[in-house]
Structure 1
Amino acid sequence: MYPKQEKNLKAELQIIEKLIVEEKLEEAENKCLELQKEQPNDPIIAHALGLIYYMRQKYDDAIAKFRITIAQITNNPNFYNNLAEALRRKGEFKEALDCFHGALLVQPAFLKAHLGIANTLIDLKRYQDARARFEFMIKLDPSFAPAYHYLGVMLTTLEATKEAIPILRKAVALKKDYYEAKFSLANALEQDSQTKEALQIYYELLKEKPNDASVHNNCGNILRTLGRLEEAEEHVRKAIQSNPEHVSAYYNRSAKHFAQEVTPQQLQRLEELILDPTISDEDRSNLHFTLARYYDAQKDYQTAFNHYKQGNDIDSRKEPYNHETQTKVFSIFKSFFTKEFFATHPHFGSSSETPVFIFGMPRSGTTLVEQILSSHPQVYGAGELKYISQIIQTLAGQFSNQAGYPACLNLLNPINSCSVGESYVNKVRDLVPGDKENILRITDKMPGNFTNLGLISLLLPHAKLIHCRRNPMDSCFSCFTQHFTQVIVYTRQLEDLGNYYQLYEDLMAHWHNVLPIPILDVSYENMVENTEEMTRKIIDFVGLEWDDACLNFHETERKVKTASLEQVRKPIYTSSVGKWRRYETFLEPLKQALGEYAPLPESLF
């Protein structure tokens, strides 16, 4: 190549680089293809095309171009790194790791390659190894903000938000304009229920990038939990306008608005996206649930059910439900927590009357009961807390050399059991904003705590226990139609739901028989039919004076993060009672698995 041609090529490549940075990918690609006619084997042009294809998620094409580059240029770690990232995105993790290590052979302290290795280890769920790699990077360069950022993202994914948040703050402090780290910090704060600060950060990001679909979508999520539904809808609309293929935004639209406003073109595009091999299973599952809700609103129950089923079938976020294992676990609880156990453990636990536990099957009315209670001026609704599960993990770890859970509870005594119970009370009290003295009751509505009532009765013997019940078919089918943010493994197959429901009924019968503290059963159907009577019964059960605000629960301003968040912003309605009947034709597997809890032919529900 003559010097003038080389100079022209360099100038053209600089223009292409600028276009790529500005995400003007079509223009950049056209320029590359023109240059390639003159220089068909040029490795830098191939690399530029690889970047363009990578950004379009055309990973096979990107990999092919990057391979051309490193075949000719073997001393640039960036080229190995970019090939490795494309392989990683395609799911070729072993070869990706080899390429990242290839970059390190060229430059051992090349931080981007170390970062790529750490992220690939996360993909492989080798979290301890990934953490060690992040910590190694920070030792190499304590000012390397991406190491803090991606470590924080990993911890957020693992639900260790308390640890993640200060690490993400460090990433932002090291690099003030680190947009992605700010987004990740807001996401962690949102998960940690620090919604005010999270929303503030999202609003600041929108000033910088007004059309960021992900930020609009997350704003919508927070505003929905706060009951600001119209504002939430507006943000989700903007997310879709900014990126018509932002799958989560479609899912997060209210079923009513989506059904009313979706265009035939959008609907067709969503149907096409389901077949797109480049989207993730998570997005594909979201699409199925989105379309299921649309067809449900159109009363096309056959098509809706098909989408619900396919959405559940491809949800691989966790291992399948194992009924045999679950049966053994519940059997252990029943054998351990007996009347004799409680009789031989008097005076254990905290004397606090503050905690109120609301539990049952998911979609059984727990959110409704908590919303009613939290409308009382002396009650704070804390939502679905994981504190009891964390106590179990702590105790199991503390006594791991002597006994597992629940056998390790035999190693507790009145003093340390009181300390553990008080630690729970202190944690939930810390959640209360403002004047804590006026709050006499704090609710924890983690539905799955029905499995932990033995421990709760031991550590918090003065707690109030409210068991939410609902027609088995409605409860189970409602679970089947939800794409839960936190995976509930037994909700993805109708047979699993029926089998689990039988275990749940059996365990609840056991608790009613052996626990030394009372349980109030609240029927969802009774709540709908006799709202004031049941509400007064609940308020009396938790030991508070009546307050009329409890009947206007839909007006209460508080954060609700569960699948029922829109329903509790409305007055009581009956449309969810017997909803399973619309899909009865498809629910024979559920009926069979429910056994004695399946509806009789003449059942009204």
Structure 2
Amino acid sequence: MKARPNMKQYHIDNYIVLGKKYFEEDNLDQALFYFNKAYQLGRFKDIDLMLDMAIIYDERNEFHKAFNMYQEIIACDESEARAYYGIAILYDHQDKFNEAIRYYQKAIACDPYYVKAYFFLAYAYDSVGEEDKAIENYEKVLALDPDDFWSLVNLGAIHENRDNIEEAITLMERALTIDEGHHMALFNMGVLLSKQQKIHAAKAYYQKTIKITKNYPYAYLNLGVIYRDEGRYDKAISVFTEGIMHNQEAVFLYYNRGCCYLKVDRIEAAEQDIINVLKKYPKMADYVQNDRELQELIHYSDVIKNILEQSEVI
């Protein structure tokens, strides 16, 4: 006698397969449609299914639906670390870091080897100014995974802020052994070497950063400022100009180029750059008005004076 198939379970499994297919294709609407069908038919709570649904709700910015789904998972299994982590991520996305911290800690209490929870807990602590706890948790990540690139980079940045430059360099060197071509680690090495007054080496790292990615304006800024401080204004202008070509909204590049144009008596070019700064970012009006180097340009340019007057800073 043949066993009679469980048609209900067949449909549930089929809906889940279809949902996962669309989920992998990043078609969230269709994925959720089929996951919901499976969820509504299910006699028991399928935690993996509910986790997938909660993630989709999160990606669709449906906070309350995601939160409620995670809470339903916890009601089924209060030791499910992924649900606490999911709630923490919901709060993290809203920059509610103190709430996120509580849930990351709950996730870790359920799973002491939850690397991602330690990482984002460290980031949350750093975001609320608790650097000691951030360091502690980044170190826990690295104890579990010594090759975690972003923990090395972020921990190095904290040590840089604390002027622990040698420690920061060691961490950034480790990061670069993992990904020698990542622009963030290259840029940070440039910053650290600049702080050690190793200017030639710092330039090389900024140049490597620019070669890797044209769309990181701070590399152009820092490299251009080095040339400016060396009195090589034409070289600085060239760097700022290249940066502007690839980062047209980076007002600080226009600003610094404008100041360099003044140094080489290219008044009209300087005027145009400062006008661009004020038009793109009106909040810079007060800064422009109080910059001693720009007083002669402001006196010369009726256009800049009019913009500043309209901003009520003159």
**Alignment TM-score, normalising by the size of structure 2:** 0.70
Give the equivalent residue in structure 2 for 1:505.
none
Partner of 1:47: 23
Does the 8 Å CA contact 2:91/2:99 hold for their aligned counterparts?
Answer: yes
Give the Å deviation of 1:290: 2.0
Once the two structures are superposed, residues 161-195 of structure 1 have per-residue CA deviations (whole angstroms, 9 ceiling, x without a partner) of: 23321222112112233222222211221222212
Aligned to 1:581: 296
User: Helix, strand or coil: the match of 2:247?
Assistant: helix
1:294 deviates by 2.9
Do residues 102 (structure 1) and 69 (structure 2) align? yes
Whether 1:291 aligns to 2:264 is no
Structure 2 equivalent of residue 58 of structure 1 = none
- Does 2:216 correspond to 1:249? no
Question: 1:259 corresponds to which residue?
Answer: 237
Is the Cα contact below 8 Å between 2:240 and 2:254 reproduced in 1? no
Call closer, same or farther: CA 1:297–1:79 in 2, change over 3 Å: farther
The one-character-per-residue Cα deviations of 1:312-342 (angstroms, maximum 9, x if unpaired) are 5479xxxxxxxxxxxxxxxxxxxxxxxxxxx
**Does 2:31 correspond to 1:69?**
yes
Contact 2:67 2:90 in 1 (8 A): no
Q: Decide which of 297, 304, 316 is 2:273's aligned counterpart.
A: 304
Q: Does 1:137 align with 2:114?
A: no
Change (3 A) 1:293 1:83: farther
The question of 1:118 aligning with 2:88 is answered yes
Alignment-mate amino acid for residue 248 of structure 1: Y
How far off is 1:302 after superposition?
3.4
Matches within 5 A, 1:142-541: 142-255=112-225, 256=227, 257-261=235-239, 267-271=244-248, 274=249, 287-298=250-261, 299=266, 300-309=269-278, 312-313=281-282, 480=287
1:86 aligns with 2:48: no
Number of the residue aligned with 1:559: none
**TM-fit CA distance, 1:47:** 2.2
Q: Structure 1's 314 and 148: CA in aligned 2 closer, same or farther, altered over 3 A?
A: farther
- The verdict on how the C-alpha distance between 1:131 and 1:122 changes in structure 2, with shifts beyond 3 A counting, is same
Deviation at 1:102, TM superposition (A): 2.5
Aligned residues of 1:80 and 1:103 also touching (Cα < 8 A): no
Residue 293 (structure 1) shift: 2.2
Q: Summarize deviations over 1:98-130 as a string: whole Å, max 9, x none.
A: 325435535655544533432442443433222
- Whether the 8 Å contact between 1:115 and 1:134 is mirrored in structure 2 is yes
Kept in 1, the 8 Å contact 2:81–2:106? The answer is no
Residues 398-454 of structure 1 deviation map (CA, whole Å, 9 limit, x = unaligned): xxxxxxxxxxxxxxxxxxxxxxxxxxxxxxxxxxxxxxxxxxxxxxxxxxxxxxxxx
- Residues 240 and 249 in structure 1, CA contact (< 8 A), matched pair in contact too: yes
The Cα shift of 1:198 comes to: 1.0
Counterpart AA for 1:288: V
Distance of aligned partners of 1:120 and 1:308 in 2 relative to their CA distance in 1, 3 Å threshold: farther
Gap change, CA 1:269 and 1:254, over 3 Å in 2 = closer
CA distance in 2, matches of 1:82, 1:580: 54
Alpha carbons 2:125, 2:131 under 8 Å: kept: yes
More helix by share: 2
Q: Deviations over 1:55-99 (max 9, x none)?
A: xxxxxxxxxx12211211245245335434534xxxx4xx14532
Which amino acid is 2:247 matched to? L
**Deviation at residue 215 of structure 1 after TM alignment:** 0.8
Q: Is the 8 A contact 1:151 1:164 kept in 2?
A: yes
Does the 8 Å contact 2:186/2:206 carry over to 1? Answer: yes
Q: Residues 593 and 582 (structure 1 numbering): CA distance in 2 closer, same or farther, change over 3 Å?
A: closer
Q: Is the 8 A contact 1:233 1:254 kept in 2?
A: no
Read off the aligned partner of 1:67 and give its amino acid letter: D
Residue 10 of structure 2: aligned partner: none
Q: Which residue of 2 aligns with 1:128?
A: 98
Q: Matched residues in 1 for 2:241 and 2:297: separation?
A: 26
Structure 2 Cα separation of the partners of residues 171 and 210 of structure 1: 21
**Aligned alpha-carbon RMSD (Å):** 3.4
- Residue type of the partner of 2:148? Y
- Partner Cα separation in structure 1 for residue 257 and residue 82 of structure 2: 43
Aligned residues of 2:147 and 2:178 also touching (Cα < 8 A)? no
Instruction: State the secondary structure of the residue aligned to 1:227.
Output: coil
d(CA) in 2 for partners of 1:216 and 1:206?
8
In structure 1, what is the Cα distance between the partners aligned to 2:58 and 2:173?
31
Where 2:163 maps in the other structure, the secondary structure is: coil
Cα distance change, pair 253–119 in 1 and its aligned pair in 2 (3 A): farther
AA in 2 matched with 1:71: F
Q: Of the two structures, which has the highest relative contact order with CA contacts closer than 8 Å and spacing of 6 or more?
A: 1
The gaps in structure 2 that reach 5 residues or longer are 1-16, 37-45, 228-234
TM-aligned CA distance change 1:142 to 1:158, over 3 Å: same
1:214: Cα distance to partner? 0.8
